[in-house]
Amino acid sequence: MAQKDRNTRIAQKAFEMVDKVYGKSPNLTTKPYDPKDESPSRFTQSAYKYGGPKIYTVREATSTYSYGRAIYMYAPESTIKEPVVSHPTEHIQYYGGTRPFVANPNRFERPKGRVINCDEAVKLYGGVLIKEFRVTALIMAMVICVEANDGNSPSRKMEEVHRESKLMITKTTVSIICASTDYKQDCTTSLATVRSPDPRNLIRSAFDLAIISIRSGIDRGMIDLKSRADADMHTREALNTCRELMDDAIDDLRKTRDKFRGFLFTRLSDFVEDLCVWLSGSITYQQTCIDGFEGIDSEAAVMMERVMRKGQHLTSNGLAIAANLDKLLKAFRIPFPFLRSRRGRLGILGSGSSRDESVGSSQDSPPNEDSSDDSPSTVDSSENQPVDSSSENQSSDSSNNRPLDSSKNQQMESSEDTPKKSASSGNQPLDDSSDKLPQKSTSSENRPLDPLRKLNPLNKLDSLKDRHLSEEGEFPPWVTPHSRRLLARRPKNNGIKANVVVAKDGSGKCKTIAQALAMVPMKNTKKFVIHIKEGVYKEKVEVTKKMLHVMFVGDGPTKTVITGDIAFLPDQVGTYRTASVAVNGDYFMAKDIGFENTAGAARHQAVALRVSADFAVFFNCHMNGYQDTLYVHTHRQFYRNCRVSGTIDFVFGDAKAVFQNCEFVIRRPMEHQQCIVTAQGRKDRRETTGIVIHNSRITGDASYLPVKAKNRAFLGRPWKEFSRTIIMNTEIDDVIDPEGWLKWNETFALNTLFYTEYRNRGRGSGQGRRVRWRGIKRISDRAAREFAPGNFLRGNTWIPQTRIPYNAN
């Protein structure tokens, strides 16, 4: 009985659609269909006729013949448990007169094997195939076969049917795509202009429309703010910066669109990860544009936010679509090589998987380099000098060479005792073995090799040569074998061969870093090594977006120092422009280098290093400043054995950044100032970004300790609404206030942020007196693994093959 009622409802839905196309007749009645009415016939479900001037048939089975106009309902499952959409690519029949044709999505085959297309079918047999996707609790997919075997239906009527049905398909497909977005009206309105029923075209168009909207917004902003820019130099500079940032936002959207257009990937989770990182970057670039007017021209900031709002909404919608891509692909039955990751689900942290809120989604309710060749890309033989890559006070972490305990139920020691501090502040790596998350087996000997590894050009590893590439620890998956060897190499082995040597005394090819960067080939595909010899280099350095695979190698983080003193005061320079070193080119690496901004605390924002590059790695580097020392702006970044010092928000930004075995040093601020280590800037709840501090140390320098009671220090504060910071397995000295976290203002982001401390140690790690905001989370061991370097930066895709010691959890 239940199945019969279901079929009746299916028939009624189909008849409603017919009424819309042909017009409803008051004489039409619904009556049960008797299979004996057609011969020969073959049915597995009930069918119904729609009586009236024309006879319409709805059935859930395969029939060899059909007379009169027919509506054919294709349901691959007899029971529908949830509303989904099926892409009907098999077992579709086309009826032309009494001659059956079996159809693929784009063709019809006659029984004799002759292939004809839809237009030819209409011409020869008066029929047309129309696909109609409808999402209800009952209907999965509908294919309408319209006949004209009686010769009374003009071609105009069939064209009208085709046009009306195509519009209906597009409208329904758009509603499915936009269902998960936060700005549904903007989504449906923009996609309604596409006029394509193909969901892939619609998704690609969503990214194109965001690009168009951003370009239109910045053009409008340049016009609206022209008079203000002409009258004020600072507004003009902010507007020019805005133009540059919008170009970067568009670049990330183009990368997203092009990757989706190619649709080439080995695992859906990796594919979605790239899309979400780039879309998160685009959102951040747009917000940085607006932030650039703060403190300079507040009215201009309001005007710019207004003209950029549509672009921001469409980019956010694009991120929502990407984050739910697995569900959309399943809904539309779009084929792809691999749906699930090795772990049996789409992925982690914002890539669309269903997971507990404790992992940090804050979604309560919606409001290449591939070279194993050590030789550089363009080598000047006269400058092919070995670099003395000795790291000042650098020491090997012997614990890294111990195999991991593969016991599934291993429990980590949680000690409140403060480990013995290093006599040297910052250069000595912390003991990796002091804290590990309870872990599943990560032993490369017990874990099978990934069969998809050979499909990934970033993972072409030589299992014999690269078995022990790094003695320093682990690196993320984008670090190719050649780059890992460069990072791990010691002077007792062969030195790193430099493409260019920079020396202030003239012993190298260049005297300035800018001169060396000018020699980097545009769109470079191999590592380009610049050895910067000992010295203090006071110059404004920028690694542009076209400078790919650049590597800086110094003589030690206190010997080779790049410095600057640009700050917000007194000239009201925007924070983005104050950086002594700005890194925009992807695949950047730095080793044994110091970056600093000497402007001082009194001049407010003064960035030493800004990183907007994707796949950036910093190893044994120092970043020294006061307010806003390190700007982790966008994309994926990994910091190992680094030291960051400052006063206010001295690690800030919206990158997907992991700090492992690093040291964060609080310096003495100005009178009446408080100190904050992090200010993470995640604006959208689906962004995959965040700051993860893993197995590191948070402490104060000698100048700060006497004033720590008066000038309190905190782990972080929320710069944007969905700020996300994770501090795990880290030593926290008693320089941190017992409350732990600081408000940005009275109520901002307290319910939507995601802050968590997991298994930390030290006298400042106690959580008994921590603030009790809704956004402060206690996470389980399982949830904590999602933020460990192996998962957050997807390190597990390559580390088992390298067989280097790796604390994945």
Percentage of the residues of the chain whose pLDDT score is greater than 90: 47
pLDDT-derived band at 615, boundaries 50, 70, 90: confident
- Residues 236 and 298 grouped into a single domain: yes
pLDDT-derived band at 372, boundaries 50, 70, 90: very low
Rounded CA separation 406/388 (Å): 38
Sign (positive/negative) of CA torsion 728, 733, 734, 737? Answer: negative
Which position has the higher pLDDT, 268 or 50? Answer: 268
- Residues 616 and 751 grouped into a single domain: yes
Which pLDDT score, from 0 to 100, does residue 714 have?
Answer: 98
Residue 280 counted as domain residue: yes
What average pLDDT score do residues 280-296 get? 95
pLDDT-derived band at 387, boundaries 50, 70, 90: very low
Percentage of the residues of the chain whose pLDDT score is greater than 70: 56
What average pLDDT score do residues 12-21 get? 48
pLDDT-derived band at 327, boundaries 50, 70, 90: confident
Whether 649 is catalytic is yes
Last residue of a domain, one of 178, 197, 222: 178
- Residues 194 and 217 grouped into a single domain: yes
Residue 394 counted as domain residue: no
Least-confidence region, from 148-162, 276-290, 589-603: 148-162
Which pLDDT score, from 0 to 100, does residue 263 have?
Answer: 59
- Residues 149 and 207 grouped into a single domain: no
What average pLDDT score do residues 636-661 get? 95
Which pLDDT score, from 0 to 100, does residue 788 have?
Answer: 83
What average pLDDT score do residues 703-717 get? 97
pLDDT-derived band at 270, boundaries 50, 70, 90: confident
- Residues 321 and 205 grouped into a single domain: yes
What average pLDDT score do residues 655-677 get? 95
Residue 33 counted as domain residue: yes
Which pLDDT score, from 0 to 100, does residue 345 have?
Answer: 36
pLDDT-derived band at 95, boundaries 50, 70, 90: very low
Residue 258 counted as domain residue: yes
What pTM does this model have? 0.70
Which pLDDT score, from 0 to 100, does residue 18 have?
Answer: 44
The total of structural domains in the chain comes to: 3
pLDDT-derived band at 266, boundaries 50, 70, 90: low
What average pLDDT score do residues 483-506 get? 71
Residue 743 counted as domain residue: yes
- Residues 647 and 726 grouped into a single domain: yes
Rounded CA separation 717/650 (Å): 11
Judging by beta carbons within 10 Å of its beta carbon (0-12, 13-18, 19+), is residue 245 exposed, middle or buried? buried
- Residues 168 and 202 grouped into a single domain: no
pLDDT-derived band at 170, boundaries 50, 70, 90: confident
Rounded CA separation 477/796 (Å): 8
pLDDT-derived band at 331, boundaries 50, 70, 90: confident
pLDDT-derived band at 163, boundaries 50, 70, 90: low
CB-hemisphere CA count at 13 Å for 641?
Answer: 28
- Residues 126 and 192 grouped into a single domain: no
Chain segment 433-448, per-residue pLDDT in tens: 444 454 443 333 333 3
The answer for residues whose C-beta is within 8 angstroms of residue 164's C-beta and 6 or more apart is 20, 21
What average pLDDT score do residues 393-410 get? 34
- The DSSP result for 324-337, as a single string, is THHHHHHHHT---S
Q: Exactly one of 450, 614, 649, 684 is catalytic; which is it?
A: 649
pLDDT-derived band at 396, boundaries 50, 70, 90: very low
Most confident of the ranges 145-149, 181-185, 398-402:
181-185
- Domain enclosing residue 508, as ranges: 412-802
Which pLDDT score, from 0 to 100, does residue 326 have?
Answer: 85
- CA 530 from chain centre, in angstroms, equals 30
* Residue type at position 687: E
pLDDT-derived band at 478, boundaries 50, 70, 90: low
CATH of the domain at 241: 1.20.140.40
Which pLDDT score, from 0 to 100, does residue 537 have?
Answer: 98
Rounded CA separation 349/720 (Å): 18
What average pLDDT score do residues 68-83 get? 30
Which position has the higher pLDDT, 792 or 149? Answer: 792
Rounded CA separation 729/416 (Å): 11
3-state secondary structure at position 203: helix
Burial 592-609 (b: 16+ CB within 10 A, else e): bbbbbbbbbbebbbbbbb
pLDDT-derived band at 13, boundaries 50, 70, 90: low
pLDDT-derived band at 710, boundaries 50, 70, 90: very high
Rounded CA separation 46/334 (Å): 29
Residue 399 counted as domain residue: no
What average pLDDT score do residues 194-220 get? 91
- Residues 652 and 759 grouped into a single domain: yes
Which pLDDT score, from 0 to 100, does residue 196 have?
Answer: 79
Residue 380 counted as domain residue: no
3-state secondary structure at position 563: strand
Most confident of the ranges 306-315, 323-332, 474-483, 485-494:
306-315
What average pLDDT score do residues 414-427 get? 35
What is the residue-averaged pLDDT of the chain? Answer: 70
- Residues 345 and 490 grouped into a single domain: no
Residue 376 counted as domain residue: no
Is pLDDT at 96 greater than 80 in this prediction? no
Which pLDDT score, from 0 to 100, does residue 457 have?
Answer: 29
- Residues 587 and 615 grouped into a single domain: yes
Which pLDDT score, from 0 to 100, does residue 721 have?
Answer: 97
pLDDT-derived band at 412, boundaries 50, 70, 90: very low
CATH of the domain at 682: 2.160.20.10
Last residue of a domain, one of 305, 327, 354: 354
* Residue type at position 661: N
Is pLDDT at 496 greater than 50 in this prediction? yes
Rounded CA separation 385/381 (Å): 8
Which pLDDT score, from 0 to 100, does residue 247 have?
Answer: 96
- Residues 171 and 214 grouped into a single domain: no
Last residue of a domain, one of 178, 211, 236: 178
Is pLDDT at 539 greater than 60 in this prediction? yes
| Nearest-5° Cα angle at 738, 735 to 739 | 120
Which pLDDT score, from 0 to 100, does residue 283 have?
Answer: 98
- The DSSP result for 105-139, as a single string, is TTEEE-TTS-EE-HHHHHHHHS-EEEEE---SSS-
Is pLDDT at 34 greater than 70 in this prediction? no
Residue owning tokens 């791990």 = 488
